[in-house]
């Protein structure tokens, strides 16, 4: 694990203290989770941009058409199968 030092405004630091106490977690855990969530959101936004820049080609779209058919057989009666 890497140690990362950050300078924060007193207002932000106080808010971190308030939330960490309210949630019953350490300041480090709260900040680590908040940063992780923000990075996930940024990654999702970048993924959306990539999809817009490089839409699926015809071959990839064929897979979607196949998936629309659903399962080839009805397996619902197998719920009691032993094996």
Tell me the per-residue pLDDT of 8-63, one tens digit each, with 9 for 90 and over: 999 999 999 999 999 999 999 999 999 999 999 999 999 999 988 998 888 888 88
Residue 1 has pLDDT above 90, yes or no: no
Residue 72, token pair as written in the block: 């080839």
State the Cα–Cα distance between residues 15 and 20, nearest whole angstrom.
Answer: 8
Residue 50: both structure tokens together:
């990539």
Residue 70 has pLDDT above 70, yes or no: no
Task: Please report whether residue 40 resides in a domain.
Answer: yes
Give me the pLDDT at residue 42, please: 96
C-alpha closest to that of 45 among 80, 70, 53: 53
- How many domains, the chain? 1
Domain that holds residue 58: 28-65
Confirm whether 7 is domain-assigned.
no
pLDDT for the residue 36 = 97
Q: Is 43 part of any domain?
A: yes
Work out the pLDDT band at 82, boundaries 50, 70, 90: low
């Amino acid at each position: 694990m890497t140690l990362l030092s950050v300078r924060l405004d007193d207002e932000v630091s106080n808010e971190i203290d308030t939330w960490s106490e309210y949630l019953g977690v350490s300041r480090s855990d709260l900040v680590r989770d908040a940063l992780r969530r923000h990075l996930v959101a940024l990654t999702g936004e970048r993924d959306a941009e990539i999809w817009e820049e490089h839409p699926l080609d015809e071959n990839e779209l064929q897979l979607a058409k196949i998936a629309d058919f659903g399962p080839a057989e009805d397996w619902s009666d197998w719920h009691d199968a032993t094996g």
